[in-house]
A and B are shown apart, each in its own frame.
Chain A
Amino acid sequence: MPTDAAIPVRTTSLLPNRRTWLAALGFAGFILAWYAAVHWSPFAAFNRLPDPFEVVVEWTSSDPYYGISIFTADYYTHIFYSTYRALAAFGLAVLLGVPLGIFMGWKPGVRAYAGSLLSLLRPVPPLAWVPIAILVFPGVEPAVIFVTFLVAFFATTMNTLVGVRAIPQDYYRAAACLGASNRDVLFDVVIPGAMPSIFTGLQIAMGAAWFSLVAGEMIAAQYGLGFLIWESYSLIQYPTIVIGMATLGLVGYLSSAAVRLVGRRLMAWHEQRLGMAG
């Protein structure tokens, strides 16, 4: 039974439209503060930055000063490269990470062997692999994808493992009682039971993929949003830096949202549970 007594000391839930008003006010304030800092503040550091309107104009102009806007092909090439790399790495992470996570969770033997190896490699921050990846892999593309894959792989495997181990023992026993074979248990209990955790892992993996992709692109790539951001800095095309950053944030958010959507579609039963108790 929800109650109306104020819960933490001073939060009251505001009416929806008042909230949207305040959100709009918040954005306007942010834009204004940004503009003021760039133009009216005494600090040289701020004055060097591009102001919001400069960025928007460049971003939406059909003939952008620095050649990158929603109307130029290059803009979409960079987006394509980044998205392709992120999805390739994410796909690999799913193909390898989910099965490994499932078997590590389900079979103690697999966990014994793989567990220690993973905990040996995990503390090494994935981006430290960039130099080695460039050396080992032929060319830049596989190296960047490998590093991005690594980050997503650890997140996927770990969450899948946690998901499988969280399945209550009674489900396994119920299946056994009803005559399920070992193979049946895998497909009828282990995989569906771990799905919610798997999708949590996939969301984290997608976020992590974009996170490390940027570094790989900045350090070693010729195309991609990370490259675009770094190159615009070197060529002193400052508004394009902000365009690159905003696009990265947007595409990153959309891809995570896509993973959430697929999850919701695949797990209609889970949705009900949330709906009921939500």
Chain B
Amino acid sequence: MKDATVATTSPALPRPRRARRLDWRGTSSVVGFFLAWQLAVTFSLPGFTDIPTPWEVLVTFVRDFLFSANYWSSWLVSFQRVFLGFFLAQIIGIPLGLFFGTHATFRALVLPVFEMMRPIPPLAWVPLSILFWPTTEASIVFITFIGAFFIITINVFEGVRSIRPEHVWLARSLGAGTLRIFRRIMIPAVVPSIAVGMTLGIAVTWNVVIAAEMIASDSGLGRLTWEGYVSSTPTIVIVGMISIGLAGYLSTMIVDWIESRMMPWKQ
């Protein structure tokens, strides 16, 4: 059952031990990247003819976006869609995963259908979602929900299955009832898997919201980037991409913070 969940971002990159020296080499490669971009544009290599230089992007960003309410409202719209869909997925997915783990009959009945739907890429739901939901807003939130729902459910289900039997036996020997075992032993034991499911889920949700906004919305960071393309102003496209990158990074940090609150014993 332990097959691959859709994880575009895999385990965190191991931090280099000798931070100081490596940073120098690390930064040099980042600087090299921007330099290469700059050169590609100035010598207008094939494909880079109408791409702006990093400097132009920066200037445009400060001039047109940094202080424009419209820009920051696209941040807000995208964040709302991501976190609404994401939390709905946790609220429904975690109990479902727990049920799969603890009720053999329920699992035998429902898991096969669940597994049949799981390989369908979330964005393939876009048309049906638009058809089904009254507003585009709801349809996009449904897509972000799908993005995170399958991942969290499977991770919680795996979490329940990998609970060490001894942890439950010992509690029963000490006289704990079924409810107390569920609350004080099984739920905390599953929390690390919930954390993994959330980390993978948030990354997927951002990917999904960007594409959904490009396809079917008139607002949000995805839309902003797409409009940059449609109006053939690549600078806006790059500003959009960098904003999406920052938003994705910020959400991962938020999820990491939530996880550290959930697992005080993990420090």
Q: Tell whether A and B belong to one assembly.
A: yes
**Which residues of A does B touch, CB under 8 Å?**
3, 5, 7-14, 18-19, 22-23, 25-27, 29-30, 45-46, 48-49, 108-109, 111-120, 122-132, 134-138, 151, 154-155, 158-159, 161-162, 165, 200-201, 203-204, 206-208, 210-215, 218-219, 225-226, 229-230, 232-233, 238, 241-242, 244-246, 248-250, 252-253, 256, 260
Q: What residue in chain B is nearest A253 (Cβ atoms)?
A: B119
- Chain B residues in 8 Å Cβ range of A238: 131
**Which B residues lie within 8 Å of A118 (CB)?**
13
- For residue B108, CB closer than 8 A to chain A, the reply is yes
B190's closest neighbor in chain A, by CB? A8
Contact A245 B10 (CB under 8 A): no
With both chains docked as a complex, state the minimum distance between the C-beta of B169 and any C-beta of chain A, in angstroms. 7
Q: How large is the interface on B (under 10, 10 to 19, 20 to 34, 35 or more residues)?
A: 35 or more
Is the Cβ of A245 less than 8 Å from the Cβ of B22? Answer: no
Chain B, residues 156-171, CB within 8 Å of chain A (1/0): the string is: 0000110101001100
B150 to chain A, nearest CB (A): 11
Contact A113 B26 (CB under 8 A): yes
Contact A116 B122 (CB under 8 A): no
- Cβ A218 vs Cβ B126 within 8 A: yes
CB pair B225 A26 closer than 8 Å: no
> Shortest CB–CB separation between residue A7 and chain B, in angstroms?
4
User: In the complex, are the beta carbons of A128 and B240 less than 8 A apart?
Assistant: yes
Q: Is the interface of A mostly helix, strand, loop or mixed?
A: helix
A-B residue pairs in contact (CB < 8 Å), sample of 29: A9-B168, A9-B182, A14-B104, A19-B108, A49-B132, A111-B16, A112-B21, A116-B23, A117-B33, A120-B30, A123-B245, A124-B242, A127-B211, A128-B222, A128-B244, A132-B237, A136-B47, A138-B46, A154-B9, A204-B6, A207-B4, A213-B121, A214-B123, A215-B215, A244-B124, A246-B120, A248-B124, A249-B117, A252-B119
Task: Say what secondary structure dominates the interface of chain B.
Answer: helix
**With a CB–CB cut-off of 8 A, which chain A residues contact B252?**
123
Q: Nearest-CB distance from B52 to chain A (Å)?
A: 11
- What chain B residues lie within 8 Å of A49 (beta carbons)? 128, 131-132
B206 to chain A, nearest CB (A): 5
